[in-house]
Amino acid sequence: MAQKAAIIGGGVIGGGWAARFLLAGWDVAVFDPDPEAERKIGAVLANARRSLPALSDLPAPAEGRLTFAATLPEAVAGADWVQESVSEQLPLKHRVLGQIQAAAPAALVGSSTSGFRPSELQQGAAAPGQIIVAHPFNPVYLLPLVELVPSEANSAGMRARAEAVMREIGMFPLLVRKEIDAHIADRLLEAVWREALWLVKDGVATTEEIDESIRMGFGLRWAQMGLFETYRIAGGEAGMKHFMAQFGPALKWPWTKLMDVPEFNDELVDLIADQSDAQSGRYGIRELERIRDDNLVGFMRVLKERNWGAGKVLNDIDAARKPALIDGLATGPDAQPLVLARPQVLPGWIDYNGHMTESRYYFCSSEGADAFLRLIGAGMDYVAGGHSYYSVESHIRHLGEAKLGDRLTVTVQIISADEKRFRSFTRILRGDELLATVEQTCLHVDMKEGRTVKAAPEVWARLKAVADAHAALPLPEGAGRAVGQGR
Q: Are residues 243 and 277 in the same domain?
A: yes
Q: Are residues 343 and 464 in the same domain?
A: yes
Range with the poorest average pLDDT among 68-72, 328-332, 377-381: 328-332
Q: Are 200 and 207 contacting, i.e. CB atoms less than 8 angstroms apart?
A: yes
Average pLDDT on 248-256 reads: 70
Q: Are residues 151 and 190 in the same domain?
A: no
- Say how far apart CA 139 and CA 292 lie, in whole Å: 9
Band the pLDDT of 487: cuts 50, 70, 90.
low
pLDDT digits (tens, 9 = 90+) for 276-318: 888 887 788 888 888 888 888 888 988 988 898 899 999 998 8
CATH number (domain holding residue 426)? 3.10.129.10
Average pLDDT on 206-228 reads: 90
In a domain, 312, yes or no: no
Per-residue DSSP letter, 11: S
- Say how far apart CA 399 and CA 432 lie, in whole Å: 13
In the chain, the number of structural domains is 3
Rg (CA), the chain: 26
How many other CB atoms are found less than 10 A from the CB of residue 34?
12
pLDDT score of 230 more than 90: no
Q: Are residues 212 and 155 in the same domain?
A: no
In a domain, 164, yes or no: yes
Q: Are residues 79 and 202 in the same domain?
A: no
Range with the poorest average pLDDT among 56-60, 179-183, 442-446: 56-60
Q: Are residues 58 and 198 in the same domain?
A: no
Report residue 201 CA to chain centroid gap.
37
DSSP for 236-257?
GGGTHHHHHHHHGGGGGSS---
Residue 226 identity (one-letter amino acid): G
Q: What is the pTM of this model?
A: 0.75
pLDDT at 329 (0 to 100): 60
Nearest to 339 by CA among 141, 47, 52, 57: 57
pLDDT score of 249 more than 80: no
| Spatial CB neighbours of 409, under 8 Å, sequence gap ≥ 6 | 339, 341, 342, 428, 429, 430, 431
Q: Are residues 111 and 164 in the same domain?
A: yes
CA angle, 359 then 365 then 371, to 5°: 135
pLDDT at 280 (0 to 100): 81
pLDDT score of 57 more than 80: no
Instruction: Identify the domain containing residue 170 by its residue range.
Output: 4-175
DSSP for 143-169?
--EEEEE--TTS-HHHHHHHHHHHHHT
In a domain, 143, yes or no: yes
Q: Is 246 left (phi over 0), alpha (psi -120 to 50) or beta?
A: alpha
Highest mean pLDDT among 126-135, 322-331, 371-380 belongs to: 126-135
Q: Are residues 154 and 26 in the same domain?
A: yes
DSSP for 242-311?
HHHHHHGGGGGSS---TT-----SHHHHHHHHHHHHHHHTTS-HHHHHHHHHHHHHHHHHHHHHTT-THH
pLDDT score of 344 more than 90: no
Q: Are residues 106 and 216 in the same domain?
A: no
In a domain, 480, yes or no: no
pLDDT score of 331 more than 70: no
Q: Are residues 170 and 191 in the same domain?
A: no
Please, what is the average pLDDT of the chain? 90
pLDDT digits (tens, 9 = 90+) for 314-326: 999 888 887 777 6
pLDDT score of 226 more than 90: no
Band the pLDDT of 255: cuts 50, 70, 90.
low
In a domain, 411, yes or no: yes
Nearest to 6 by CA among 87, 101, 90, 89: 101
| Spatial CB neighbours of 479, under 8 Å, sequence gap ≥ 6 | 415, 425, 439
Average pLDDT on 456-478 reads: 94
pLDDT at 341 (0 to 100): 83
pLDDT score of 411 more than 80: yes
Q: How far is CA 260 from CA 113, 200, 205, 271, in A?
A: 25, 15, 18, 19
pLDDT digits (tens, 9 = 90+) for 170-179: 999 999 999 9
pLDDT digits (tens, 9 = 90+) for 14-39: 999 999 999 999 999 999 999 999 99
- Say how far apart CA 439 and CA 475 lie, in whole Å: 12
Phi, psi of 445 (to 5 degrees): -125, 140
Beta strands in 9-93 (DSSP E): 27-31, 66-68, 81-84
